[in-house]
Amino acid sequence: MASAPMTEDNSYGAWKFCAWNGMIFMAVFMYFWGWLGHNLPPFAGDAPASEVAGYFRNHSDAVRLGMVTSMTFAVSYAVWGIAIGKVMDYAIGRGHILTDLQVWGAGLTVVPILVSSSFWLLGSYRPEALDDTTLQMIYDAAWLLIDLAYAVTSVQMFGLGFGFLRDKRAEPFFPKWVCWYSIWVGFMFIAECFMPFFKGGAFNRSGILNFWIEFSIFFAYAPIITWYTLKAIGRIRVENGD
């Protein structure tokens, strides 16, 4: 049942490309931001300033490349959110507020990624001229921002989860478990609030709870949502007879 809220050319190729941006974002984020930027895992909060500074000085080109690429592709998260939003238009009708929340949440997620990546880039720009504690402060600032900006992404996840739960199709575009997964991930991000209070242990930025678990559930999020978004686009195309 296509609710057909749109009458214009849907450009399925472009739509699917936008949906694939979720995977593009995640691949770039993991390799360039994570691996080259030494953020997978990050230096612990109690790591000596000399260790953090040493990384910036010895791997400045790798960090620059990582962050330049991360900043370039950060917007792909918003592009992905728009592709999901268009599927939501079909699922729950055009102009629904939950769709707006999903799209805005995805769009705003770009900001902390962009700004925090620029901090890491700043640290790698002239690390030889900066002292150890200044480089550590830049690294800290970047992590505090990217972790504590979780709420904008939670808005996307709540919008998506609660939105697709309203899909009344016999076989909804997104299974209920995916909707609730989305809500749960957004909900559990609140554990990031503990991060500024710890420099070591499970809740510090590289700890098992605040990094390994929180980032793992986030890294699993984009592939799952992208898979169902692409499936939904295929179904809409068939339903529309295009």
Partner 1 sequence: MYAPSTMPAETRKKALALPGDEGVFFFITADMAMFALFFLVFMVGQAQAPDIYRASRAALDPTLGLLNTLILATSGWLMVRAVDAARRERWSAARRNVIAAALVGLGFAVTKAFEYHAKISHGITLNTNEFFTYYYAFTGLHFFHFVIGVLVLAITQAKLAAPEGEKTRIWLESAAAYWHMVDLLWMVLFPMLYLAGGTA
Restricted to residues 95-134, the positions that interact with partner 1 (CB under 8 A) are none
Residue 38 C-beta: closest distance to partner 1, Å = 24
> CB-side exposure of 67: number of CA atoms within 13 Å?
25
How far apart are the C-alpha atoms of 47 and 30, rounded to whole Å?
22
Contacting range for partner 1; rule: CB under 8 A; set: 32-40, 63-71, 129-137, 201-209: 201-209
- Torsion over CA: 176, 88, 106, 12 (sign): positive
Binding window for partner 1 (CB under 8 A); candidates: 23-31, 102-110, 132-140, 202-210: 202-210
Instruction: Point out which span in 26-34, 67-75, 84-92, 203-211 binds partner 1 (CB under 8 A).
Output: 203-211
Within 10 A of 24 (CB to CB), how many other CB atoms are there?
17
The Cα–Cα gap between 180 and 162 comes to 8
211 contributes a contact to partner 1 by CB under 8 A: no
**Interaction of residue 6 with partner 1, rule CB under 8 A:** no
Which DSSP state fits 42?
P
| Residue in 10, 65, 201, 235 binding partner 1, rule: CB under 8 A | 201
Q: Which of 12, 20, 31, 194 binds partner 1 (CB under 8 A)?
A: 194
Choose, by CB under 8 A, the member of 12, 20, 125, 184 that binds partner 1: 184
The residues, any chain, with a CB within 8 Å of residue 11's CB and separated by 6 or more, are: none
With respect to partner 1, which residue has the nearer C-beta, 14 or 208?
208
**Secondary structure (DSSP) of 60-126:** HHHHHHHHHHHHHHTTHHHHHHHHHHHHHHHHH-TT-HHHHHHHHHHHHHHHHHHHHHHHHHHHHHS
173 lines the binding site for partner 1 (CB under 8 A) = no
- Output 187 or 219, the one with its CB closest to partner 1: 187
Instruction: Determine if 12 is a binding residue for partner 1 (CB under 8 A).
Output: no
* Residue 62 vs 202, nearer CB to partner 1: 202
Q: Omega of the bond prior to 41 within 30 degrees of 0, cis?
A: yes
Interface residue list for partner 1 (CB under 8 A): 165, 176-177, 179-181, 183-184, 187-188, 190-191, 194, 197-198, 201-203, 208-209, 213
